[in-house]
Structure 1
Amino acid sequence: MDRQPPPRPAYELPAPDALGAAVDQALSADRDAHERLGRVMAVATAAGVRDILTGYRPGLPFDAAKLELVEGEDGSLFPTGRYWTLTGAARTFTEDVGETEAGNALHDLSGWTAFLDDNTRDVWRPLCDERPDRDGRPMFALDLLRAASLAYDPPGLAAPDAAHGPMVEVTVCANERDHYLALVDPADQRDGYVRPWFDLPTVHRIAADTQRDAAKYGHGSIDTVHILHGKVNDTRHAVVMVVTWMHLGGEKQQQAVEVLQPNTDGRYAVGGHPWCWYVLSDDLTPLIPFRPDAGWPVVS
């Protein structure tokens, strides 16, 4: 039996350009919604820890800096009941409030941390230190100070080479260990974290440190910096790249490698705001947000 061509389309569709624009808009809205969800739930998690330790009396003092979280099979995070104080001492909620109260509190806290999952990973993962696996499950320590400082809505991204205001020289850190000199614009902050600009020798140090950490802890948890050198027409050039390994193999794989452009002073904004760089005082106290006093020297 001969197959007759259909006399008309089975159904009507929007114009391809309109449909493509609608898809892009919907995906963008979905990403924005997940980022806001991750931010709100990270703050709610920090608030939940405070409530456990203060008996739901927010005005009372408490001492908590990091919260231990375990990643479940579905990618969601759940509290183990262990946390660390500002001095680094490990404690459990059971020690503080008793087994029954701690169990009930952790159940409530899990209601917030369950939203810290694969959909919101871009928000919570930079706030966490990776800990040794336990029973085959990934473990993390959530920085509660950084989580508590998040704004609910992500601020607009500034172009990397956008004009900046007066710059000051500071010492910055992003991992509580490695410190670097940089220039920052105090007005260019997101959630209290700065966008530092490094000279090329410092970028070499950052490259060596990130590659060392990736070799030690795994590339899935560390962005690495790489520098290529070459000569064109007797002029030497440097190419600075950042590799976000966790994006490889996923829907963001095309964003996994970023080539950084230097500013007019030949400095590079390695990591930018997403790395959560913070300024250190002379005694290495984190200054989040960074509010330089009137005597802080302006470089440019």
Structure 2
Amino acid sequence: MTTQPASRPAYEIPTHLGAAAHAALDADRAARDQLGRAMLVATAAAVRDILTGYEPDAPFDASAVELVEGEDGSLFPNGRYWTLAGEERTFTETVGAAEAGNGIHGMSEWTAYLNDSTRDVWYDLCTEQPDRDGRPAYRLDLLPAAALQLDESAPAPVRQRGQMVEVLVCANDSDRYPAMVDPDDQRDGYVKPWFDLDTVRRIAEQTQADAARYGHDSVDTVHVLEGGDCAVRHDGSTEPLKYAVVLVVCWMYLDGEKREQAVQVLQPNKDGRYAVGGHDWQWYALGGQLNPQIPFRP
């Protein structure tokens, strides 16, 4: 059989194939990145909802959640999470078995999209954990996950000079607290955090425990004195009033020339926050993976 040479092309390829293929790949990559960001934010929201009973403005304490990789490569929650202080807990311990089970089931609908196709997005926000039943496990940092920009095309908000931002801060490599800081108010890279009263109570408890363990000469202690009263309205009814006084005691000053500076009464700012320790305690901001940011650049 004689093979006849082709007299014309069997088919034609569009001249713009290369550009079209690259555009399609770029669009696919952008879509997967957008999906990963959205599912990470949804996961952070699901943890909040479990711990607050779906009250978005209610206080809650969570900094990370554990996700386990399934056989298909997607992640799913196993009910473990960590508080801002680094304490490991389970949703069942905190909210009960029924609420935890329903919440974990709902969260799984979002984490199922955290898989190989979106790994480039979620992996950098995770720390590898010991395997769980032979499956890879990861600790997802919820603070940067919740702060991800959902619309990449939207311009990032411009921070005004002196504007506060919310971060986790630490002064001893172990105890971490949420605070508002002014990135422009730093000393040698250390920030001046402003804490709400609930966080001040936590700091007070921890500093007093440290002083009892290591001695008052080496630890400044924080104390929250609270009281109440009743105000009489014009109609004769009463309104309960609550007061709080925050003290910082530097015990090493009591026997020296600085004894008059040994006790400091902290004044709250207009938002009711207290600058415990100021710059002197060398608070530093924590970034992704809870790494120190010295200096802090939001």
- Whether 2:2 is the aligned partner of 1:8: answer no
Q: Distance in 2 between matches of 1:287 and 1:66?
A: 13
1:45 aligned partner, one-letter code: T
1:103-252 equivalences in 2 (<5 Å): 103-154=101-152
Residue in structure 1 matched with residue 78 of structure 2 by the alignment? 80
Paired AA for residue 90 in structure 2: T
Moved over 6 A (4+): none
Correspondence for 2:218:
none
Aligned 8 A contact 1:70 1:137 in 2: yes
**Match 1:45 to one of 30, 43, 46:** 43
Identify which range, 147-156 or 116-125, moves more after superposition.
Answer: 147-156
Superposed CA offset, 1:13-39 (max 9, x none): 202xx1011111111111111111111
Aligned residue for 2:80, secondary structure, equals strand
Aligned twin of 1:227: none
Q: Cα distance 1:7–1:70, how it changes in 2: closer, same or farther (>3 A)? A: same
Deviation for aligned residue 1:7: 4.0
Residue 205 of structure 1 is matched in structure 2 by none
> Quick one: which amino acid aligns to residue 42 of structure 1?
L
* Residues 71, 139 of structure 1: 8 Å contact kept: yes
Q: Matches of residues 24-103 of structure 1 in structure 2 within 5 Å?
A: 24-103=22-101
Please report how far the alpha carbon of residue 285 of structure 1 lies from its aligned counterpart in structure 2 after TM superposition.
3.6
User: How far is 1:2 from its partner?
Assistant: 1.6
| Partner SS, residue 79 of structure 1 | strand
Unaligned runs of 5+ in 2: 155-168, 174-182, 185-280, 289-294
- CA distance in 2 between counterparts of 1:287 and 1:68 reads 19
If you compute each CA radius of gyration, which structure gives the higher value, 1 or 2?
2
3-state SS of 2:284 partner: coil
1:287 deviates by 7.2
How far apart in 2 are the matches of 1:66 and 1:33? 26
CA contact (8 A) 1:39 1:153 kept: no
State the AA in 2 paired with 1:105. Answer: G
CA root-mean-square deviation: 2.9
Q: Secondary structure at the match of 2:22?
A: helix
The CA deviation at 1:70 is 0.4
Letter in 2 for 1:97: V
Alpha-carbon separation, structure 2, partners of 1:34 and 1:287 = 24
> Structure 1 residue 48: deviation in Å?
0.5
Deviation at 1:49, TM superposition (A): 0.4
Distance 1:35 1:65 in 2: 23
Paired residues, number: 170
State the distance in 2 between where 1:87 and 1:147 align. 18
Would the aligned equivalents of 1:35 and 1:154 in 2 still touch at CA under 8 Å? no
- How has the CA–CA distance of structure 1 residues 75 and 286 changed in structure 2, closer, same or farther, with 3 Å as cutoff? same
Q: Deviation per CA, 1:147-201: give whole Å up to 9, x if none.
A: 0011013469xxxxxxxxxxxxxxxx9xx97xxxxxxxx89xxxxxxxxxxxxxx
